[in-house]
A and B are shown apart, each in its own frame.
Chain A
Amino acid sequence: MWDETTLNMLVQGVGETLYMTLMSTLFAYLIGLPAGILLVTSAKDGIRPRPALYKTLDVIVNVTRSIPFLILLVAIIPFTRMVAGTTIGPTAAIVPLTLSAAPFVARLVESSLKEVDVGVVEAAQSMGASDAQIIRKVLIPEAVPSLIVGCVIAVTTILGYSAMAGFVGGGGLGTIAINYGLYRYQNDMMLVTVVLLVLIVQLFQGIGMRLAGVNDKRKK
Chain B
Amino acid sequence: MSQPIIEIRSLGKTFHTQNAEVHALNDINLSMEKGDIFGIIGMSGAGKSTLVRCINMLERPTEGTVLFDGRDLSGLSNRELREARRSMGMIFQQFNLLMQRTALGNICFPMEIAGADKAPAKKRAKELLELVGLSDRAKAYPAQLSGGQKQRVAIARALATDPKVLLCDEATSALDPTTTRSILALLKDINRRLGITIVIITHEMSVIEEICNRVAIISDSRIAETGLVRDIFNRPKTAAAQKLVYPEGRYSQRPISKRCMRIVFDGSSSFEPVIANMVLENKAPVNIMYADTKNIDGKAFGQMVVQLPEDKDLAQKMFDYIRAKGLSAEEVSDYVG
- A residues adjacent to B (C-beta < 8 A): 117, 119-120, 122-130, 133, 137-138, 141-142, 144, 215, 217-220
Contacts and interface: CB of A to CB of B under 8 A. Distances in A.
B85 A127 contact: yes
5 contacts: A120-B97, A128-B86, A142-B100, A144-B100, A218-B99
Nearest to B79: A130
5 smallest beta-carbon distances between A and B, as pairs: A128-B82, A128-B85, A123-B96, A126-B90, A119-B96
Contacts of A117: 94, 96, 99
A126 B141 contact: no
Q: For B83, B89, B100, B144, which residue has the most chain A Cβ atoms within 10 angstroms?
A: B100
Contacts of A123: 90, 92, 96-97, 154
B112 interface: yes
Contact of A119 (B89, B94, B113, B142): B94
A45 to B, nearest CB: 14
Interface of B: 56, 58, 81-86, 88-90, 92, 94, 96-101, 109-110, 112-114, 141-144, 154, 157, 161, 167
Nearest to B85: A128
The interface residues of chain B, by DSSP majority, are classed as mixed
B141 A217 contact: yes
A141 B167 CA distance: 26
Contacts of B144: 220
A129 B143 CA distance: 24
A128 B113 contact: yes
Contacts of A144: 100
Contacts, number: 78
A130 B96 contact: no
A126 B56 contact: yes
Nearest to A121: B96
B96 A141 contact: no
Contacts of B109: 124, 127, 137
A26 to B, nearest CB: 24
B113 A124 contact: yes
Given A119-B92, A126-B58, A126-B85, A142 B99 contact: yes
A215 B157 CA distance: 23
Nearest to B78: A130
A117 B90 CA distance: 16
A218 B143 contact: yes
A137 B142 CA distance: 17
Nearest to B114: A128
A138 B96 CA distance: 11
Given A126-B90, A217-B143, A138 B98 contact: yes
Contacts of B56: 126
